[in-house]
């Protein structure tokens, strides 16, 4: 019995290590993101929150900028079309020279409905614009990253699915 104790202990340690790795892989990856200072100058809206994920963690370096624009959305139709995403999603704050890559798509973020659209910025940067609404309020989300817009979009949507971010967005939209 005494000789089997080290084997049993080693098995429990190995099982614990595998559980920790599996837990990390299955956990939301918001922890890979770190909050950074709002990088844009003041305008008519309050500053939002900004986050960065490194290339190792997200496949490419990605920055995401979120801010509510309370009272800024059409109360009846919400975010209606791509032109509205172009106007309100704050991609123009990253660069005034952005070109849509294709038509946008319908998206749901934190129980809000709207649209998402991919853009090419100056040089080789990609951007994503997201505008979602709740009642008469708008959540503007812009993201930028190197290279492929699809990779930036996947990383951004994964980040927005984290419970911490969804909770913040919901609270910010109800902050009247």
46-61 pLDDT, tens digit per residue, is 899 999 999 999 989 9
Which pLDDT does position 80 carry in this prediction?
87
- Distance from C-alpha of 36 to C-alpha of 52, rounded to nearest angstrom: 7
DSSP 52-111: EE-HHHHSS-EEEEEEEETT-S-TTTSS-SHHHHHHHSSHHHH-S--EE-S--EEEEETT
| pLDDT tier for residue 22 given thresholds of 50, 70 and 90 | very low
Second-level CATH architecture of 32-173? 3-Layer(aba) Sandwich (3.40)
24-44 pLDDT, tens digit per residue, is 343 445 569 999 999 999 998
**20-24, 61-65, 140-144, 163-167: segment of lowest average pLDDT:** 20-24
| pLDDT tier for residue 72 given thresholds of 50, 70 and 90 | confident
- Distance from C-alpha of 36 to C-alpha of 138, rounded to nearest angstrom: 22
pTM above 0.85, yes or no: no
The domains of the chain are located at 32-173
Average of pLDDT values for 111-123? 93
């Amino acid at each position: 019995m005494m000789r089997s104790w080290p084997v049993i202990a080693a098995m429990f340690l190995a099982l614990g290590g595998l559980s920790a790795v599996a837990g990390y892989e299955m956990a939301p990856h918001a922890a890979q993101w770190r909050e950074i200072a709002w990088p844009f100058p003041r305008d008519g809206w309050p500053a939002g929150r900004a986050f960065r994920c490194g290339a190792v963690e997200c496949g490419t370096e990605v920055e995401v900028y979120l801010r509510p624009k309370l009272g800024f959305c059409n109360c009846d139709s919400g975010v209606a079309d791509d032109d509205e995403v172009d106007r309100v999603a704050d991609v123009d704050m990253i660069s005034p020279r952005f070109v849509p890559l294709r038509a946008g798509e319908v998206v749901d973020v934190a129980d809000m409905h709207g649209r998402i659209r991919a853009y090419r910025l100056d040089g080789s940067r990609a951007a994503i614009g997201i505008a979602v609404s709740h009642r008469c309020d708008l959540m503007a989300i812009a993201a930028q990253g190197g290279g492929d817009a699809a990779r930036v979009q996947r990383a951004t949507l994964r980040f927005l699915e984290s419970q911490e971010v969804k909770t913040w967005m919901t609270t910010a939209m109800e902050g009247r």
